[in-house]
């Protein structure tokens, strides 16, 4: 039975749908939801990103929790939040072992073939590499 679902969240409509799905599933199974917001680091910005995360991480986590509870009222008691940086697919997959996650939920965003080729697809990457069940919410 699914007890701990991981949601990759970026504030998009697709990630909000994924969060709603994961919370409803957690309510049905008596589980929890881990929400991870991944700030993707670009060209040499790791030091600046780490500094920014240290300075505003707590405030942003509180803002994120408020956003999530607006999306799904009364969900705060079911949710663990982490803000981090890195490659979204790699971060999400590392969360599985680090936190005992047994299910991943990701929102799917339609992009054209060129955008997928240039930027990749987080959902495709996770789906191909995960060793736990993955639900992609459209």
SS3 99: helix
pLDDT for the residue 34: 98
At 80, list the tokens.
């663990």
pTM (two decimals)? 0.84
* Region at 11 (left for phi over 0; alpha for psi -120 to 50; beta for the rest): left
Domains contained in the chain, CATH given: 4-137 (3.40.50.620)
pLDDT greater than 80 at residue 112: no
d(CA 124, CA 129): 9
pLDDT for the residue 94: 97
pLDDT for the residue 87: 87
Q: What pLDDT, in 10s, does the model give residues 12-58?
A: 999 999 999 999 999 999 999 999 998 876 655 555 556 555 556 77
Q: What is the mean pLDDT of residues 4-15?
A: 94
Tell the residue number behind the tokens 């996770």, with chain if given.
126
pLDDT greater than 60 at residue 92: yes
Q: What pLDDT, in 10s, does the model give residues 43-54?
A: 555 555 565 555
């Amino acid at each position: 039975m699914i007890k701990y679902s991981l949601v990759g969240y970026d504030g998009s409509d697709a990630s909000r749908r994924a969060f709603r799905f994961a919370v409803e599933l957690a309510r049905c199974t008596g589980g929890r939801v881990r929400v991870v917001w991944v700030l993707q680091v670009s060209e040499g910005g790791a030091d600046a990103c780490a500094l920014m995360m240290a300075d505003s991480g707590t405030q942003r986590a509180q803002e994120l929790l408020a956003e999530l509870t607006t999306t799904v009222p009364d969900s705060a008691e079911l949710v663990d939040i982490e803000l981090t940086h890195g490659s979204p697919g790699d971060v999400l997959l590392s969360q599985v072992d680090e936190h005992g996650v047994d299910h991943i939920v990701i929102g799917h965003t339609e992009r054209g073939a060129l955008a997928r080729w240039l930027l990749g697809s987080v959902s495709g990457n996770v789906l191909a590499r995960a060793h736990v069940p993955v639900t992609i919410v459209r």
